[in-house]
Amino acid sequence: MITREPDWGEGRGLFGGILHAFGAVGRGGVLVFQSIALFPLMLVRGRSRRELFAQMYQAGIRSLPVITVVAFFTGMILALQVGLELRRFNQEIYIGSAVMVALLREMGPFMTGIVLTACVGSSMAAQLGTMTVNEEIAALEMMTISPVRFLMAPRMGAMILMTPLISFYTCIVGILGGGVVGLTQLNVPWGQYITTAMNFGDLRDLYVGLFKALVFGIIITGVSCYQGFTTTHGAVGVGRSTRQSVITSLLLILMTGYIITRMFYDL
């Protein structure tokens, strides 16, 4: 079963370490493809659909409070920083455009990725990791129930559906946050703020941003489930897997964020 066998071990020395890393990427990649390929099944099969909805609730609705706060403050910080600069040229009415572009292109998906890594990815890794060390994953395999289909695919489906939505929501709340700062600190009237924001808001920026969020969602699920399935060494191992899944997700989000930006925007 791809979740645990073949076992390449810890990997000794530099060469072993590199080999191990490549093995991990390969197996993680296979898990990601398998779980995405099962997406249609999640929609048609009653029991799977229920599980998908449960996971969407877990990933999406449960993280809304923290997302809202993060998004609002992100918008406020953006508006304040940009506003302080623009005020030197008496151009602070344009903060709306700056906040809009920054959120759509980068901060919306990025903040979504960070928050979901922290609250959803870590809990996925911990839950699947605990199941692995308690032999629950092995028990599923013994019942010939694929852990990828039973556990990972609904999580993957939920994240694919939810991350773009959450990213969009982050942008909207961020714009509102920026507007509040504009109104109260920089004396930019609400109407003018929104108008400049909408004038500079580009649909393409929105789409690229949502695509980024989607990729981040796949990364978070893939990394966290892989870490969970490959957990060993009891409770200590669960802690280590959780930590590792957060670190790996954040690094991959930063790097792919850059790569996607570079792909869609020419210099």
List of residues contacting other proteins (CB under 8 A): 1, 5-6, 47, 131, 134-136, 138-139, 141-145, 150
Q: How far is the CB of 7 from other proteins (least distance, A)?
A: 8
Pick the closer one to other proteins by CB: 5 or 266: 5
Distance CA 213, CA 103 (A): 12
Which residues touch 163 (CB under 8 Å, ≥6 apart)? 109, 112, 113, 116, 213, 214, 216, 217
Q: How far is the CB of 139 from other proteins (least distance, A)?
A: 4
Q: How far is the CB of 200 from other proteins (least distance, A)?
A: 47
Q: How far is the CB of 234 from other proteins (least distance, A)?
A: 11
Pick the closer one to other proteins by CB: 11 or 192: 11
Pick the closer one to other proteins by CB: 54 or 66: 54
Helix or strand or coil: residue 202? coil
Q: How far is the CB of 142 from other proteins (least distance, A)?
A: 5
Distance CA 41, CA 59 (A): 20
Distance CA 67, CA 112 (A): 7
Pick the closer one to other proteins by CB: 7 or 266: 7
Distance CA 33, CA 31 (A): 6
Pick the closer one to other proteins by CB: 99 or 120: 120
Cis amide linkage into residue 6, ω under 30° from 0: yes
Distance CA 253, CA 114 (A): 8
Q: Running DSSP on this structure, what letter comes out for residue 265?
A: S
